[in-house]
Chain A
Amino acid sequence: MSSFTIPIGPQHPALPEPILLKLEVEGEYVVGVDVDISYMHRGIEKAMEYRNYIQNIYLAERICGICNVAHTVCYTLNVEKLYDKEIPPRAQYLRVIIEELNRIHSHLLWLGVAGHEIGFETLFMYVWRDRERVMDLIETITGNRVNTAYTTIGGVRRDITSDIEYKIRKTMDIVEERTKYYKSVAAAEPTIIARTKDIGILKTIDAINLCAVGPLLRASNVKNDVRADAPYAAHDEVPFNVITYPYCDVFSRILVRVDEIFECINMIRYCLDHLPKGPIRIKLPLKPPKGEAVTRVEAPRGELLHYVLSDGSEKPYRYKVRTPTLANIPSLCRMLTSSGDYIVKIADVPIAYASIDPCLCCTGRVQIVDIEKNKKWIWSWEELKEYSKKEFKKS
């Protein structure tokens, strides 16, 4: 049985990040995957060694624009561990509020992109229109829509007043109602169910062995969430449920993310009801003591880890960041490989890839290499999607 190799490379209309996916195919079925992520490498870990701790906040949040709050919260918690001082509780509650708002906007963004991948443009437009309300709220609280730099070493920068609090409550009511509508659409619409059920299966045992993180892990029936296992920044006082679903496919991941939006809304309401009074920031010296620290945070895509080693000067000696998508790549390779009874067709690749919520730009050029006939041809990601839509219509 001959096999072909298909590389999928840059240009994607919906979510841009260059990645090269090399698929080995036999006929219609995918039998092997290799991933090349070198397009996005910018050398941030080395650059952090040449800037001081305050300048590094702005560099850390530009690692990813969608989950920028998770990066700043993780960075500031990490550096504050070196000082070993108590951070005001009001600042920790405000950090939780802005982190959960970021999670809502990220999951709504993903829902729109998933709709776009299936071909459901209306869902994309509707969801992004509602997401604008959340972006307005973030702009009212922090001053910018994306890349907010709200947290700083020692606390947060701005306080919320009572009219901002009123706006937050009103917006949460509207978002909750719209999300209930989207859940009823996602769970019952036959097109979505047919395109996503039993596609991209990741069994529980594989998810644990390959160290998957985030909603990908929770959609394979494993109850793990950094906010519950190793709580940080007021998460030990704010109650919430860890959402899991047992179906292990793309449909399960859609349901997990939509339900997590409801949990975020409840957490924000709890924080507003129990917001402690007091200062929002303490002053800390520019040079931390010698030592090292590790912090993990639940970003919208999974577990995010930062590690710092300080030698007593104002610049870090070593700073390491491990993003959740890197942890999910072995699971992606397993998900896209046919073995035994489990079959993956080329037409399933776009939606299965989008379901891990990659925070890499997927610019896709698909190059198909027929080893037997010794021919090569190139498809763009658009052509791959058109092919997958045509295949779906045939069945």
Chain B
Amino acid sequence: MGIINWARSRSPWIVHLCTGACNGCDIEILAALTPRYDLERFGVLLKGSPRHADIFIVTGPITRQMKDRVVRIYEQIPDPKFVVAVGTCTMSGGAFRGCYNVYEGLDAVIPVDAYVAGCPVKPEAIIQAVAALVKKIRSG
């Protein structure tokens, strides 16, 4: 498999960006890191800087002001990178579909690897998404 892939799959680091969400998905992502659900047993750490991360987690409908920042942060993450779109808002705009300041989904802006549905997403679903992504990294 290669030692780099093995190292990356044993300990994927994530960077998280909220693009105008209601905060429901964001607090569930943080709850997934706390002792009850414990995402850290997969070696996952929440980092502040995009240059240290492997996985990019995005929540919220993309507002007009945030679109350029999303693209810029995506470009700052070193290859290979994986993008996870969390919540219904990132998939189609969610409850805000049709509002004048909101785009229709994250895959209109950057390519996405995994989608997690829910409004808001349950922490168990986030763990399932990360586990599936880790399996995908391990298989090359």
Contact = CB atoms under 8 A, between A and B. Distances in A.
Interface in B48-102: 48-50, 59, 61, 63, 65-66, 69, 73, 94-96, 98-102
Interface string B15-43: 11111111111111011001110000000
Contacts of A38: 65
Contacts of A290: none
B46 interface: yes
B95 to A, nearest CB: 5
Given A11-B48, A380-B49, A128 B34 contact: yes
A218 to B, nearest CB: 23
Most buried by A among B23, B48, B66, B96: B23
A65 B48 contact: no
A64 B98 contact: no
Most buried by A among B15, B100, B101: B101
Interface stretch (A14-22, A205-213, A367-375): A14-22
A46 interface: yes
Contact of A42 (B26, B30, B101): B101
Given A43-B99, A382-B48, A65 B30 contact: no
A40 B46 contact: no
Nearest to A113: B30
Contacts of B98: 47, 50
B99 A65 contact: no
B47 interface: yes
Interface in B104-124: 119-120, 122
Contacts of A12: 48
Nearest to A63: B22
A39 B70 CA distance: 12
A46 B26 contact: no
Contacts of A10: 17, 66, 69, 73
A145 B61 CA distance: 21
A234 interface: no
A286 interface: no
A62 B22 contact: yes
Interface string A153-176: 000000000000000000000000
Interface string A53-93: 00000110011111010000000000000000000000000
B31 to A, nearest CB: 7
A9 B17 CA distance: 12
A18 B18 contact: yes
A18 B23 CA distance: 11
Contacts of A46: 99-100
Contacts of B28: 145-146
Nearest to B97: A47
A141 interface: no
Interface of B: 15-28, 30-31, 34-36, 46-50, 59, 61, 63, 65-66, 69, 73, 94-96, 98-102, 119-120, 122
19 contacts: A11-B48, A13-B16, A17-B18, A39-B63, A39-B65, A40-B20, A41-B20, A42-B63, A43-B99, A44-B96, A58-B95, A63-B22, A68-B22, A68-B24, A128-B34, A129-B35, A147-B119, A361-B18, A361-B23
Interface of A: 9-18, 38-44, 46-47, 50, 58-59, 62-66, 68, 109, 125, 128-129, 132, 135, 145-147, 359, 361, 363, 380-382
